[in-house]
Every structure is written in C-alpha cells, then in structure tokens.
Amino acid sequence: MDQQVLQIAKALATRIIRQAGQIAKDKFDDIADVQFKDEFGDVVTEVDHLAEGLILGQIQDVFPEHQIHSEEAGWVGSDSDWLWLIDPLDGTNNFAIGLPVFSVSITLMYQQQPVLGVVYEPMTDRLFVSARGEGTYCNDKPVHVKRSPNFLKGNIGWIQGHKVQNDPTAVQLRHFIDVRCKRMMRLWAPTLQWCMLAKGDLDGIVLYNSEGDDLYSGILMVKEAGGAVIDFDGNPFNGMSTEPYMIACHPDHQQQLLQLVREGLGAR
C-alpha cells in the first residue's frame, strides 16, 4: 500500500467531509424533498444527493483511477485496488424527522481492507478519523475502547440491516440482549454507534446482517481504538462480507458478549 496515497486521501477526506456535513447542518429541519427508496421504508432526501455530489466530484478530481461506491450513486469508476465507500448521510431517517442524530461517512479500502475511515457528526462538530496503524482520533484527540468493570450491565449498541425488519431470529436475539444489559441502543445511524464504542461511550455492539457503505469506517475506528471485532463464530472479522454478523467490544469482554449472543440465538 502506498502511504503517500493514504496521507493525501486522509487530508482530502477530512476536508470534504466537513463541507458535506455543513450542507446537512444548513438544511436540518428545513427539508423540501423526502422520498421513499424501497418497500422497507428507507428514505432519501435532497441532502443525500447534494452531499454525495460534492464528495464524489472532489474524490474523482484527485483520484480519477480509484473506484467509488456511494449510497445513492452506486458504482463509479473502473475496478481498482483502491475503493472509496461513501455514505453522504448516515441516519437519513433520523434527519428526515428532525432528529439530530446523523453523520457523513467516508471510507477508503485497499484490496478489500479498510485503511482510512472518516466520520463527521455535523450537529456536534465531532470529526472522527482513523487510519490503519495510526489509531483513532476525535477532534485530534486519541480515543480508546473502554474496559467495563461490569460489562453485562453496560450499554450495548444494536445494528441491523434495513431488510432484516422483524426477522424472528433477529427479534429473539435483540430482545434477549435488551433485557440482560443496562440499555440496548438503536440509533439508526450505525457510524455513530461505532464511533461511540471507539470513544468509550458504548460497551459493545451486536451487528445483525447490516452490510453497507457505512460499515467499514466504523470497524476500522474500533479496531484502531483497541477494540475487538469478531463474527458470531468467534473468528476475527477481516475484509468484506455481503452478510456480516459480528460483535465488537473491548478485547477483554469479547467472550462474554459472544456467549450472550450465542445464548440469545439459542433461546426459545
């Protein structure tokens, strides 16, 4: 991997993500157009398209040889070892109903591994940046996954894909965890939950079949903040998956959280 490319990409992403976030902040609570994208109730707004256009244009100007996949535009460019994943407005449903819980996410993959993750939360002006081997930072301050003295009484984030809906197994597992921890958190803005875990504000995450452009920035954030990310079989999660099932937390707690998930999947 070319480190010079990574550093140029890092400077670019941190600049344009603030610009995209400002679009969302300026339009917050003043949305002119909200449209349904699918039968599951997912929505798209004018801000998704405006922020996406800004991000795509500037990446293409600097890295015309890189491939891009973005939430609304889909695939852009030819096959490349370098792949950008863009979610111009993670938490669109929240944004559309006036709930100020949303972010912009930019990820750079190299040979299907995340090497750069940048997430910006416009309403709090929090910028999370993680590059492979460099740690994770929130507004230029290093952050770390925390170890909890009483993990099973902690706060666990739940993330599921839009298509999961009320899948019986997902509902069973979600309820099982919900009644056994202090609080189960569902933000419908996954990147923010990953950032909360990396920052030490969440104790763990359980992700149920939720693959998308918002996933890999968060995974890198947590790993570079000292966290463990494993699948439901207990194996380290690496690369990309079209149907990911995983847990993430401090390494000292991974067996506890894995056992909780396994019990939940076996509960009747």
Binding residues, by number, are 71, 87, 89-90, 214
Residue 61 sits at the vertex; the CA angle it makes with 58 and 63, to the nearest 5 degrees, is 100
The CATH number assigned to the domain holding 170 equals 3.40.190.80
- Given 89, 109, 142, the domain boundary residue is 142
Single-letter residue type at 250:
H
pTM, to two decimals: 0.93
Count of Cβ atoms closer than 10 Å to residue 203 Cβ:
27
Same domain, 10 and 39: yes
d(CA 230, CA 223): 11
Same domain, 178 and 262: yes
- Given 110, 142, 174, the domain boundary residue is 142
Same domain, 194 and 112: no
Binding residues for Mg(2+), by number, are 71, 87, 89-90, 214
Which helix (H) or strand (E) element contains residue 188?
none
Above 60 in pLDDT, residue 108? yes
Q: Which residue in 206, 216, 211 sits closest to 243, CA to CA?
A: 211
Categorize the per-residue pLDDT at 233 as very low, low, confident or very high, splitting at 50, 70 and 90: very high
Same domain, 108 and 195: no
Same domain, 80 and 180: no
Q: Which domain holds residue 97?
A: 3-142
| 172-216 pLDDT tens trace | 999 999 999 999 999 999 999 999 999 999 999 999 999 989 999
The CATH number assigned to the domain holding 60 equals 3.30.540.10
Same domain, 89 and 180: no
Same domain, 205 and 262: yes
DSSP class of residue 252 equals G
First to last CA, the chain: 48
Judged by average pLDDT, the poorest of 27-31, 129-133, 189-193, 244-248 is 27-31
Average pLDDT over residues 253-257: 95
Same domain, 89 and 171: no
Above 50 in pLDDT, residue 4? yes
Same domain, 101 and 189: no
- Given 109, 142, 175, the domain boundary residue is 142
**Where is pLDDT greater, at 116 or 1?**
116
Give residues with Cβ within 8 angstroms of 59, minimum separation 6: 12, 16, 66, 68, 84, 86
Same domain, 189 and 211: yes
What DSSP string describes 108-159?
Answer: EEETTEEEEEEEEETTTTEEEEEETTTEEEETTEE--PPPPTTGGGSEEEEE
The count of C-alpha atoms lying within 13 angstroms of the C-alpha of 240, restricted to the half-sphere facing its C-beta, is 19
| 36-76 pLDDT tens trace | 655 555 667 888 899 999 999 999 999 999 999 998 889 99
Q: What mean pLDDT, rounded, does the chain reach?
A: 93
Same domain, 250 and 157: yes
Same domain, 113 and 21: yes
- How many domains, in total, are found in the chain? 2
